[in-house]
Structure 1
Amino acid sequence: MNLNYYDTFITVSPDSTAEVGMIPQERKGGPSKHGIEFELISGSPYTYTQEDVLFEVHVRHKGLEQEVLEERREQLREEFFSRSHACMRASALPKKYGWGLHFDKEGKVALYGVESPEYRALAANATGDLKVVPGMRSSRGK
């Protein structure tokens, strides 16, 4: 099963009120899942695929010990992907925080703030090379 996007740009959700890309705030108990997503992708653009991000967010959010992770990474990854998971269109980054997600031809992702010229260029898709899809709406309303 391959959950990755290729040559795709996920725009900010149609019902998002974000006017700029914002850094997600941490929770009192530690980083939130969307905070970890932001940290991973913004810290290493075009390094991770969607599957890599989903799995890394899972292990970091769970706080798995490094030794356990090193010994059982493939088994944990296989177990993780044996269940269904929401794709990055459902992430709070495009829904709430104003970030577009660009996946290159290798499926690696980078973030672009809704206010940036790069975001506008990717969303316009002037070359026709990208599949442009919106982030999922936060509500089921109109």
Structure 2
Amino acid sequence: MKIHTTNYKNTFIEIAEDCPVSSGQIPPTKRTPTLANIQYEMVAENPYQFTSDDVMFECYAQKNDITENERAEGRKDFFSKGQACFRSSALSKRYGFGIHHNEEGKVAIYPAGSEEYERLVNDDSIAKVKAMRNKRK
């Protein structure tokens, strides 16, 4: 069985061209955590600790009540199909966060307009991709 991945290496995902905010905003907390809430908490509190695959699977596991005992098999099943990556995340499409993947594929987020965001955008040694647009042109 082919295993797919959402990981990038040495890449910065810039906010979407049509992102409605010009600086990072923490996703609002709701009664049930949204994918953006889970992603934000994992990455903001633990920069460069998790890969994109780790974060995406954790979101899936929490939303689908996958127990610790089921996680190894659940992860294998989850990545047996292609999955959306951080380019489609509300963090970069709606809430104004750029996502940096380091050489090991571990991720950290930086709010648009911050010094670190601008440094990463202007660093020629890092590949850049834009988050997916919210609406078609």
The verdict on a shared fold, with TM-score over 0.5 as the criterion, is: yes
Residue from 86, 90, 94 that aligns with 2:88? 90
Question: Which residue does 2:21 correspond to in 1?
Answer: 18
Residue from 5, 9, 27 that aligns with 1:6? 9
Aligned-residue sequence identity (percent) comes to: 37
Residue from 112, 115, 139 that aligns with 2:135? 139
Matched residues in 2 for 1:3 and 1:96: separation? Answer: 20
Partner-residue secondary structure (3-state), 1:102: strand
Unaligned 5+ residue runs, structure 2? none
Q: Which amino acid aligns with 2:26?
A: I
Matched residues in 2 for 1:121 and 1:34: separation? Answer: 24
The alignment's C-alpha RMSD in Å is 1.1
Unaligned 5+ residue runs, structure 1? none
Structure 2-normalised TM-score?
0.93
Question: Are positions 1:77 and 2:75 aligned together?
Answer: yes
Runs of 4+ in structure 1 off by over 4 angstroms are none
Matched residues in 2 for 1:8 and 1:89: separation? Answer: 11
Question: Which residue does 2:103 correspond to in 1?
Answer: 105
Count the aligned residue pairs: 134
Q: How does 1:28-107 map to 2 (within 5 A)?
A: 28=31, 30-64=32-66, 68-69=67-68, 71-107=69-105
Matched residues in 2 for 1:95 and 1:74: separation? Answer: 30
